[in-house]
Amino acid sequence: MGTIAQTDLYRAIKEANDRGERVVVATVTQTRGSTPQQRGAKMLFFENGNVAGTVGGGCIEAEVWAEARVAMRSGVSALHHFSLTAEEASEEGMVCGGTMDIFIDAWTGSLHSKEKCQKRSSKTTKPNIGIRSTG
């Protein structure tokens, strides 16, 4: 799995949004030390289980997948800190030993938004306004 071009990224998000699907976008926001990807790398997670792009592979990407699944269910976006120590890296056969901050952003498709609005409007009660005679 390789990096994803910006035009492909936004096209894929729009297509999923048009289908009413939630998409989770993981973006590397900061790196320190030796890391498999640089700031700006993105990975998309779709409700149907498909993915596109990469944030680095290996242990960090597996952890990002887990956090993306949580965001997919909850719809909550958050910044996460991941570290790959030299010891962990050598166990995995990697040369990395840095840390990465990755923003995991849940994008809700338009059909999800429509459903939420419909649920809210069906729960909204009309004010009970009466006319009272004072005479």
Q: Judge whether residue 56 has pLDDT over 90.
A: no
| Closest CA relative to residue 36, chosen from 105, 108, 84 | 84
Q: Judge whether residue 63 has pLDDT over 80.
A: yes
- Flag whether 25 is in a domain: yes
- Flag whether 27 is in a domain: yes
pLDDT per residue over 91-114, tens digit each?
655 556 789 999 999 998 765 444
Residue 106 confidence (pLDDT): 95
Residue 67 carries which DSSP code?
H
Residue 44 confidence (pLDDT): 95
Residue 71 confidence (pLDDT): 96
Residue 132 confidence (pLDDT): 42
| Closest CA relative to residue 76, chosen from 103, 105, 47 | 105
- Flag whether 131 is in a domain: no
Total structural domains in the chain? 1
Q: Write the single-letter amino acid at 57.
A: G
- Flag whether 34 is in a domain: yes
Q: Give the 3-state DSSP-derived string for 6-29, with helices as H, strands as E and coil as C.
A: HHHHHHHHHHHHHCCCCEEEEEEE
DSSP for 71-134, please give it.
HHHH---EEEEEE--HHHHHHHT-----EEEEEEEEE--HHHHHHHHHHHHHHPPPP-------
pLDDT per residue over 27-48, tens digit each?
999 999 888 888 999 999 999 8
- Flag whether 119 is in a domain: no
- Flag whether 78 is in a domain: yes
pLDDT per residue over 1-28, tens digit each?
567 788 898 899 899 988 889 999 999 9
- Flag whether 53 is in a domain: yes
What are the backbone dihedrals phi and psi of residue 123, each rounded to the nearest 5 degrees, phi first?
Answer: -90, -15
- Flag whether 12 is in a domain: yes
Higher-pLDDT residue of 134 and 5 is: 5
* Domain coverage including residue 67: 6-110
Q: Rounded mean pLDDT of 57-75?
A: 91
